Amino acid sequence: MLDIQKIRADFPILNEKVNGKPLVYFDNGATSQKPQVVIDAIAKYYQEINANIHRGVHTLSQLATDAYEIARGKVQNHINAKNAHEVLFTSGTTFGINLVANGFASILKPGDEVLVSHLEHHSNIVPWQMLCEKTGATLKVIPMDENGELIMSEYDKLLSNKTKIVTVNHISNALGIINPIKYMIDKAHEVGAAVLIDGAQAVPHLKPDVQDLDCDFYTFSGHKMCGPTGTGILYGKEAWLNKLPPYQGGGEMIKEVTFEKTTYAELPHKFEAGTPNIAGGIVLGTAIDYMNEVGFENIQQQELELLDYATERLSEIEGLRIYGNSAAKTSVVSFNIDGIHPYDIGTIIDKLGIAVRTGHHCAQPIMNFYEIPGTIRASFSFYNTKEEIDALVEAVKKAQLMLS
């Protein structure tokens, strides 16, 4: 059982006022808030060991390099990757997906198929469309049902020996649905397809085990799990990372450069051209330590309580519809109120200090499916409370009264 007040004291921003009201932060799906240890670790890096990595023999460069590689090891342990060199630092999920999609340009032929799901964030749709345009491959879509669940019988039918890669999110950002990725990975492997999992919305809530999942790639962003923006991870199985060409050329990713020919560095450096976000990578390690100290069992227990409570309380409101109804769901409630535009509700409740996201959540195909312009999305983190949910419910009721 978490001591929520103690946890909340770790996050200085939670004491801020917004529009003169105590901040109620329910936009955790967009980015999480940061604990003081993370904020301090950024300053500590710049105050004490700032230097470029993998370059100099001087002491600071060694210290920075060691700290960066220790952080890589923390990520490796966290996701249970077999090797540290299978863990690539990136700037975020978007970068990780683009890296893999770019690599598949050298593999796909006209007639090959790429499978995405109807539940994807735009960053797991657009890079694959660009890839298909480049290669003549075809993009196929795994359909969803009214509850927001992917239809597995349709997925099974879409798979064939033409399928070269299946790319799907672990948890949907717009609806909070947890997809049956273990089943999907096993099925894709039966036809010889690779699988990329977009874990952006999963890592704030759970600890993925990439070896147990047996996914070929798993990517996520640090900023959604208490870490700094501009940080992320792409895990790839060694064999795949050796097979894919580098994404960007530049310093640090080479073995030898001549004007005639360049040879590439070993993993992970082959995919880490240029000076990376050194502070960010190191502090992502701090964020992972922090979340593990809080404990993922505790995090899940608190978040599920918040989800149940919010679902129950919001359902009291007349004309309110929740999108995404599944037993496999994380702490996201995406909803609309009859006859009112989500943006209008969002704007009014912001004046009351409540931060939610309104709009299509970079998942327009889901909104098109439900034939709506967008939703109001309240996404909860372990540092949120039931009292804050009460404040949301009261604010939404007030907005409904004003707008109808």
How many beta carbons lie within 10 A of that of residue 328, not counting itself?
11
Q: Is 400 a residue that touches ligand PMP (CB under 6 A)? A: no
At position 30, the amino acid (one-letter code) is: A
Alpha-carbon gap, residue 161 to 178, rounded angstroms: 27
Q: Is 187 a residue that touches ligand PMP (CB under 6 A)? A: no
Single out the segment in contact with ligand PMP by CB under 6 A; choices: 88-96, 288-296, 323-331, 393-401: 88-96
Nearest approach in angstroms of CB 3 to ligand PMP is 29
DSSP codes of every residue in 78-117: HHT-S-GGGEEEESSHHHHHHHHHHHHTTT--TT-EEEEE
Alpha-carbon gap, residue 125 to 283, rounded angstroms: 29
Q: Is 198 a residue that touches ligand PMP (CB under 6 A)? A: yes
Q: Is 379 a residue that touches ligand PMP (CB under 6 A)? A: no
DSSP three-state, residue 62: helix
Give whichever of 285 and 348 is closer to ligand PMP, judged by the CB atom.
Answer: 285
Single out the segment in contact with ligand PMP by CB under 6 A; choices: 74-82, 196-204, 257-265, 303-311: 196-204
Tell me which of 123, 330, 336, 385 binds ligand PMP, using CB under 6 A: 123
Give whichever of 247 and 400 is closer to ligand PMP, judged by the CB atom.
Answer: 247
Residue with tokens 């997906």: 97
Alpha-carbon gap, residue 298 to 325, rounded angstroms: 23
- 215 tagged catalytic: no
Tell me which of 169, 330, 334, 381 binds ligand PMP, using CB under 6 A: 169
Strand-pair category, 21-22 with 17-18: antiparallel
Give whichever of 123 and 381 is closer to ligand PMP, judged by the CB atom.
Answer: 123
DSSP codes of every residue in 242-263: HHSPPSS-STTSEEEE-SS-EE
Q: Is 92 a residue that touches ligand PMP (CB under 6 A)? A: yes
Q: Is 330 a residue that touches ligand PMP (CB under 6 A)? A: no
Q: What are phi and psi of 79, to 5 degrees?
A: -100, 5
Q: SS3 helix, strand, coil % of the chain, rounded to 5?
A: 45, 20, 35
Tell me which of 94, 179, 330, 381 binds ligand PMP, using CB under 6 A: 94
Tell me which of 65, 135, 201, 331 binds ligand PMP, using CB under 6 A: 201
Nearest approach in angstroms of CB 290 to ligand PMP is 19
Nearest approach in angstroms of CB 395 to ligand PMP is 24
Contact 249, 257 (CB under 8 A): no
CA distances from residue 245 to 65, 202, 263 in whole angstroms, order as listed: 25, 28, 11
Q: Is 221 a residue that touches ligand PMP (CB under 6 A)? A: yes
Task: List the x/- string, 339-368, binding to ligand PMP by CB under 6 A.
Answer: -----------------------x------
Alpha-carbon gap, residue 221 to 203, rounded angstroms: 8
Nearest approach in angstroms of CB 60 to ligand PMP is 30
Q: Is 121 a residue that touches ligand PMP (CB under 6 A)? A: yes
Q: Is 93 a residue that touches ligand PMP (CB under 6 A)? A: yes
Catalytic residues, by residue number, are: 362
Positions touching ligand PMP (CB under 6 A) are 92-94, 121, 123-124, 169, 173, 198, 200-201, 221, 362
